[in-house]
A and B are shown apart, each in its own frame.
Chain A
């Protein structure tokens, strides 16, 4: 408010004749450039975010590309009824949910643990050097990382060579079903764990050092300090990141799985996103795959809603 009166002082006479005009009209007249500036941005979000979101209604249609969204016939819940009787859907949903669950249980705590370990490194130079190495894979594309994974796990690759030293037979890791999910989880930890520590390390560096000093006075060792000071201080950050994660629970990342998947591992590794790509984009089953995508978003939202309620009981939620 102080600002408004100040600006009108600088431009006396602009509004003198129309004192009853609502303030936002005056604001638009004065700052119309701000509205012009943001116009392309707003158009971008409408066209590429909101229109596709609204376009999800084709899940309730028998969408035909020639007729378009306005003329395609409505079919109610038929597409949903179809996917729930469809064997492939359960397969893909099971794969997605299992991989998502492993990623959450193993992948989510990994950067927290790593950040706590980094925190115990007292030599700054060593810490920075180690961090630089850990951050690097984050910047590589999944195509590159997928290529590396295939190469390292190939029959003549690094891992099998090491097995050879101990007299073990080589294993074709990428062609065997039982290894696929662990490989997905481990490769995503390998790529993102270092980068994930940054936010936790920042939160740790924000902890008041006098808390540790007081703990030392009371005779707490490093372990007790970690358990009773560092971890509780990290809790709000962990909670927020967990909530942001759970909303996208079933979205595993197309790039990763697509680049690790081969027809030999479809039965365990085909996830919603790769399935939707193949039968939606490539085979033109637009309505059915949109229904699957919508189902995925609804699950994500329900999970987010449940966990947000739980979070609010212990502390702060997202909303």
Chain B
């Protein structure tokens, strides 16, 4: 098809704009990487853009020796693994009956769940409920109060409903009960969607912040994002050394840059491989049937 002059101009402008905008998505991260690998003098004198100036690993070496940071890293890895496992178990167990015609309450229960999407639990009563349950200052407070994400559960339900009905009929002839139908027939067929939803949960747990702010007072329990926030607001703590004593090849600017990247590295690393699952999954979550 022949393009008019105006359409050609638009095409070029469109590419230029989109490419420029797309690069602003990644530039800040590259800039931080450059800062984290630069000498403190260069980092504070606006010399560093996308390439390190006065190249040094000192900031990275320092933060990677910080026991506080590793402790929070450990907490985050734990809640990501345990949380994702728990969330998947309970989400599957909830989504499956809601996808079955044989479950007579499915419309009522589904309505009850959708209502909670419109009316969010208010912060203070939610806080008091969790407190009342004795979950304050315990890692359970990061795992249990959000164990089912409604959006993720709906993705699973939509997928279960899309599987052919003939599956169960054959299963029932073989005398399978509902648990076996779920675990031996449905789940093996749902691997891609299970992977997608697990990833959504895992990213959510990795980025857990608000619940940690609400429920965890003991810094020893803080997940990585919370620790990062503490370091960003009082970076002296991150430096942990008396700056007067020696001439260190880092300062709070380079340390902050390194710590921000440290907290997002796992996501940035797995992202390119998993992106296509995320996109597919996000579309399955639409409530329209």
Residues in A134-160 with C-beta less than 8 Å from chain B: 134-137, 139-144, 146-148, 150-152, 154, 156-158, 160
Knowing A24-B104, A49-B116 touch, does A280 contact B124 (C-beta < 8 A)?
Answer: yes
The answer to whether A19 has its CB under 8 Å from any CB of chain B is no
Q: Which of A16-65 contact B (CB under 8 A)?
A: 24, 27-28, 30-31, 33-35, 37-38, 40-42, 44-45, 47-56, 58, 65
Whether the pair A293, B172 counts as a contact (CB closer than 8 A) is: no
**CA of A137 to CA of B225, assembled, Å:** 15
- Asked if A152 meets B125 with Cβ closer than 8 Å, knowing A37-B178, A135-B278, the reply is no
Q: Does A38 contact B98, Cβ atoms closer than 8 Å?
A: yes
Given contacts A117-B17, A147-B228, contact A161 B46 (CB under 8 A): yes
Q: Does A120 touch B at the CB level, under 8 Å?
A: yes
Q: How far is the CA of A132 from the CA of B15 in the complex (A)?
A: 15
Question: Once the chains bind, are B25 and A134 in contact (CB under 8 Å)?
Answer: yes
A175 at the interface (CB under 8 A from B): no
Tell me which of A58, A144, A221, A247 contacts B260 (CB under 8 A): A144
B122 contacts A48, C-beta separation under 8 Å: no
Assembled-state Cα–Cα distance A273/B121 (Å): 13
- How far apart sit A129 and B26, CA to CA, in the bound complex (Å)? 12
Q: If A27-B104, A139-B203, A251-B120 touch, does A216 touch B1 (CB 8 Å cutoff)?
A: yes
Are B123 and A273 in contact (CB-based, < 8 A)?
Answer: yes
Q: Is the CB of B109 within 8 A of A133?
A: no
Number of interface residues of A (CB under 8 A): 94
The one of A146, A164, A190, A248 that contacts B232, using a Cβ cutoff of 8 Å = A146
Nearest chain B CB to A297 CB, angstrom units: 6
A202 to B124, CA, bound (A): 38
Which residues in A have their C-beta under 8 angstroms from that of B32? 148, 151
Given contacts A44-B90, A133-B26, are A147 and B10 in contact (CB under 8 A)?
no
| Cβ-defined contact, B103 with A41, below 8 A | no
A10 at the B interface (CB under 8 A): yes
A294 interface residue per 8 A CB criterion: yes
Q: Count how many pairs of residues, one from A and one from B, have CB atoms less than 8 Å apart in the complex.
A: 255
Chosen A-B contacts, 28 in total, with CB atoms closer than 8 Å, are: A33-B178, A34-B178, A35-B97, A37-B94, A45-B112, A47-B129, A52-B122, A55-B125, A58-B124, A118-B18, A120-B14, A133-B22, A135-B278, A139-B267, A140-B267, A144-B260, A146-B229, A148-B260, A151-B260, A152-B31, A156-B44, A156-B45, A164-B46, A195-B282, A258-B210, A276-B124, A290-B124, A293-B122
The residues of B with any CB-CB pair to A shorter than 8 Å are: 1, 4, 6-7, 10-11, 14-15, 17-19, 21-29, 31-32, 35, 43-46, 49, 90-91, 93-94, 96-98, 100-104, 109, 112-113, 116, 118-130, 133, 144-148, 153, 169, 172-173, 177-179, 182, 203, 206-207, 209-210, 213-214, 225-226, 228-229, 232, 253, 256-257, 259-260, 263-264, 267-268, 271-272, 275, 278-279, 282-283, 286, 288
